[in-house]
Structure 1
Amino acid sequence: MTTVSSGTAAAGAGASGADPRRWWVLALLSGLAFMILLDMTIVNVALPRIQGSLGFSEAGLAWVVNGYVLAAGGLLILGGRLADVFGRRRLLLTGVVIFAVSSAVCGAAVSPGMLIAGRFGQGVAEAIAAPASLGLIALLFTDPKERTKALGIWGGLVALGGTLGYVISGVLTDLTSWRWIFYINLPFAALVLLIMPRLVTESRMVRERGQRLDVTGAITSTTGLVAIVYGLLQAAEHPWRSASVVFPLVGGVCLLAATVVVERRARDPLIPLAFFANRTRSVINVVSLFFMAAFISYTFMLTLFEQQVLGYSPLVSGLAWLPLGLAIGVGIGVGTALIPRLGVKAVAAAGFIGAGVGLFLTSTIDVDTRYVSGILPGMIVFGVFAGATMPAATNAALHGVTAQDSSLASGVQNTMQQIGGALGLAVLVTLALRYTDDQLQLGVAAQVAVVSGYVVALRTGAGLMVLGGVLILLLFERVDPELRDPTAEIVGATR
């Protein structure tokens, strides 16, 4: 899509970059990104308390995570297009309003359905606000050095949000109530809505005559994914041949098939099918599904294991995740340093396989496991190798793309990661619950049966990671790391 700017960004986006207000805007945008990613991870530690308070089933509890990631992943690229057309500031503020209202709904939830609806709303808000936020940063900081610094600050706070989510969740859940993990968003959202319009003017792209937004493709793809995830989670409690499993699965597959037809015929598709002609990009997007399926399921099930089997409090469980964040940070640094020496293919493959080994180490847990000897070793191995894959995956996702398509490439990768997390929970949680039921029917003690289900799911996740590494070794083309405009790598869906 050919676009041209129809306006300038906030104060301070001039060529000289002299107006200091742009740094205040960056502070607000970074804080907003921190808050949004925080809410993606903050629920994990609170899940057992949420389950007990609202009466979630084991399979239904997965929707507290899945509702968010499905909505965010399915609508992310559409959100970027909407920001381009209707204005980044307008979409950013709209996303913040939706996020605040959805957070209030989550905090006030009196039933599982109400909480899940709120989580879907939060995911929609991320899909709207995140691309607009990144697009504004790109326009605010026109000097390459300043832009690199600004994106570094933004990215650092986002990474910090992902790590601190577990700790903040533990503190709030233990000392107050799980409801405050959602209410905490409201004051900051109000601050953004109050200050941002004073600092940022509108900016948008002008569509060429006849261009259309591919809303139909976004609706069919997101609805199809929701239906498939719903059917897979229903399989945890119903036979595979039951209507509650078969109908949503078949309906979801039909909707995804319809998406392919829509994208083939659309004049301006969200994701041109020709984009997947590049083998390396296609492979990295497929294995990104494996990566996030294993990663999200690992954090989900290990949290339940720590609190429901080992008896950890939410606060202790939250603190127990700190080594993972540190290990991922180390892994990112190691991976970045090794790529110029060993190449993207070698680092990505080793990262996937090593992360699989970490999950296998974690799968040795039992009802008497101790944190230092039973959980920590696998967590560190998994974190370091998973972190090492991240810069390699970014390079591979951008392999062979033009400057015009770099945003699309990053957006597709981000979308696949979100979808992978949702599908992973649906498949691996269902697998764990079915195996647990089988063990209970054989007379195995309840806690032993539950842990055995987690073990099977963790080992399946380990297998997916190793399979991803093997596919990278077999199918990747040579990928030479290049110095890229950081906006092209980070602004995933602003076009």
Structure 2
Amino acid sequence: MYKKLRGSPGTVLAAAAVAQFVVALDMAVVNVALPAIRTALGFAPLDLSWVVHVYALTFGGFLLLGGRACDLYGRRRLFVLGMVVFGLCSLAGGLAQEPWELVTARAGQGIGAAAAAPAALAMLTTTFTEGPRRVRALGVWSAVNAAGGALGVLAGGLLTEYAGWRWVMLINLPIVALALVLVCVAVPSGSRPERRRERPDALGALFATAGTGLLVFGVVRTDTRGWGSPATLVTLGAAVVLLAAFTLVESRVSAPLLRLGLLRSRWVSGANLLVFLAAAGQFTAFYFVSLYLQQVLGMGAAATGAAFLPFSVGLVAGTVVATKVTAARSPRAALLPGALLAAAGLAWFSRISPDGSFLTDVLGPSLLTSVGAGLVLAPAAAAATTGVRISEAGMASGVLNSSRQLGGCVGLAALATVAAHHTGKATDPASLNSGYALGLAVSAALFLLAALVAVGVLPRRRAAVTASHSPAPTEQRLEGTGTHS
């Protein structure tokens, strides 16, 4: 049995899927537990949000570095390192006795996730041949990723209400252990990266991490500082300068963290722009619907989590359909209808009422939105890795994960500010409902923009990229050579 599993593509897929599940789960599972965490550890009201923000800050800031490091030092090695760090920090967070201990543990989780997530996706794209086999693998990966985010809300509510808030951190430990066992079985320990002699782009890593981190930091602080405050403007301005310096450095080094030529592919650049917009819309929808259920309809934590089950089912169903459509035709064939369907669902969501109910205001738009989002997830991952060289699999994976993380972070902060400004100081259900409805309407517009990207940027056929973006003769594209390093 062990020999059959060793090196098996199915086991590689299982390891990558489990890792992505726990990373996605951790982004959502803590949210519902925040009130209990505040009471237990004595967080100040303005400091509590950093339990969520610091994870986004370190995860988003280190993704590009993690993606390129797995190319240079080995995908298996970075995957194991990231999972171990993630697991140890989950344990530290579950045992935290002071606010600073929990915040530090969450920062460590973000760093671990930034190493493991791009390594997991890179292992998939180097294991499965470009075409139907890879599309099916990415379909499973995307479905698990989506389910992790949706089920995180359910798990957070149930664990907080029936087991205690510490279990929203400790639940990660058995999942991390499973991912480590699977990857150790599936991927030979002796494999080596193709470019092991190259030195890492230290200066580029510094600029990328600092610039992305400042961008996330500036955006997440807008809930207290405001977009027009001097602190926000200075932080975002510094982020722009650092990212511009990163671009300049990448154009001049021999082993860049992000080869700028990669973004000349319409598949890569178009897919990442689409993922940025879709993540902004989806993350924001989760946020506003969760608040609507609790603050307007008065549901408890466990009931709110259960209300997201139809969303999880729709995401998986949409991903299954998208996988079949993409394998038979091209990513664009599923991306366009998926973005339009999600936009329609969110427009329906924007009609929520303070006198509504789960059956009348949530169930229908949840199913429509989730099926549409599911149609987008797998094809976007397939498009973003189409025509990419094996030696740059981690780079492309890091860029894709960065687009998703930054899209969700920036979109959520921006639309939360829009909703808060619309609501003002009012706290009655009708006023809150009005602000949430506005946020959901803007989320629908973001998916409409994603549909425009699918039409205007992505090629109609896969052959368009393989002809125009062919690699150098000495490089191989990601065509299932079995390179698991």
Which residue among 455, 465, 468 is the counterpart of 1:473? Answer: 455
TM-aligned CA deviation for residue 216 of structure 1:
3.0
Superposition map of 1:8-407 within 5 A = 12=3, 31-50=18-37, 63-109=50-96, 113-133=100-120, 160-187=147-174, 189=176, 201-205=189-193, 207=195, 209=197, 211-238=198-225, 240-339=227-326, 344-401=331-388, 405=392
TM-aligned CA deviation for residue 466 of structure 1:
0.8
Distance 1:192 1:346 in 2: 33
TM-aligned CA deviation for residue 290 of structure 1:
0.9
Superposition map of 1:412-451 within 5 A = 412-437=399-424, 440=425, 444=426, 446-451=428-433
TM-superposition CA deviations, 1:59-93 (whole Å, max 9, x none): 86654444334433443343244344445554344
TM-superposition CA deviations, 1:35-63 (whole Å, max 9, x none): 33322332243344445556768886654
Native 8 Å contact 2:12 2:123 kept in 1: no
The one of the two structures with greater contact order (alpha-carbon pairs below 8 A, sep at least 6) is 2
Distance 1:149 1:351 in 2: 17
TM-aligned CA deviation for residue 182 of structure 1:
0.2
TM-superposition CA deviations, 1:193-219 (whole Å, max 9, x none): 79987996343225365x221233233
The answer for the alignment partner of 1:5 in structure 2 is: none
Q: Secondary structure at the match of 1:236?
A: helix
Distance 1:343 1:239 in 2: 42
Distance 2:12 2:383 in 1: 32
CA spacing shift, 1:386–1:57, aligned 2, 3 Å = farther
Native 8 Å contact 2:56 2:216 kept in 1: no
Structure 1 residues 126-135 or 162-171, which shifts more?
126-135
CA spacing shift, 1:452–1:425, aligned 2, 3 Å = same
Distance 1:488 1:51 in 2: 47
CA spacing shift, 1:57–1:264, aligned 2, 3 Å = farther
Distance 1:129 1:171 in 2: 27
Q: Secondary structure at the match of 1:237?
A: helix
Structure 1 residues 46-55 or 239-248, which shifts more?
46-55
TM-aligned CA deviation for residue 292 of structure 1:
0.3
The answer for the alignment partner of 1:464 in structure 2 is: 446
TM-superposition CA deviations, 1:105-151 (whole Å, max 9, x none): 33244565543432221121122234445666789999x99999998
TM-superposition CA deviations, 1:220-241 (whole Å, max 9, x none): 2232233233333433333544
Unaligned runs of 5+ in 1: 1-10
Distance 2:326 2:120 in 1: 29
Structure 1 residues 125-134 or 446-455, which shifts more?
125-134
Amino acid at match of 1:203: S
TM-aligned CA deviation for residue 175 of structure 1:
0.2
Distance 1:294 1:470 in 2: 14
Distance 2:69 2:231 in 1: 35
The answer for the alignment partner of 1:453 in structure 2 is: 435
Distance 1:376 1:57 in 2: 35
CA spacing shift, 1:121–1:201, aligned 2, 3 Å = same
CA spacing shift, 1:301–1:479, aligned 2, 3 Å = same
Structure 1 residues 40-49 or 356-365, which shifts more?
40-49
TM-superposition CA deviations, 1:370-409 (whole Å, max 9, x none): 0011011111111111111223323432455456555543
Distance 1:81 1:355 in 2: 32
Amino acid at match of 2:414: V
Task: Please give the TM-score of this superposition, normalised by the length of structure 1.
Answer: 0.80
Structure 1 residues 197-206 or 417-426, which shifts more?
197-206
TM-aligned CA deviation for residue 285 of structure 1:
1.4
TM-aligned CA deviation for residue 152 of structure 1:
8.0
CA spacing shift, 1:300–1:239, aligned 2, 3 Å = closer
Distance 1:478 1:435 in 2: 40
Amino acid at match of 1:449: S
* Alignment RMSD (CA, Å): 4.1
Distance 2:255 2:283 in 1: 33
Amino acid at match of 1:115: L
Structure 1 residues 463-472 or 150-159, which shifts more?
150-159
Q: Percent identity?
A: 35
Unaligned runs of 5+ in 2: 467-476
Native 8 Å contact 1:297 1:428 kept in 2: yes
Distance 2:47 2:356 in 1: 27
Native 8 Å contact 1:407 1:494 kept in 2: no
Amino acid at match of 2:91: A
Amino acid at match of 2:340: I
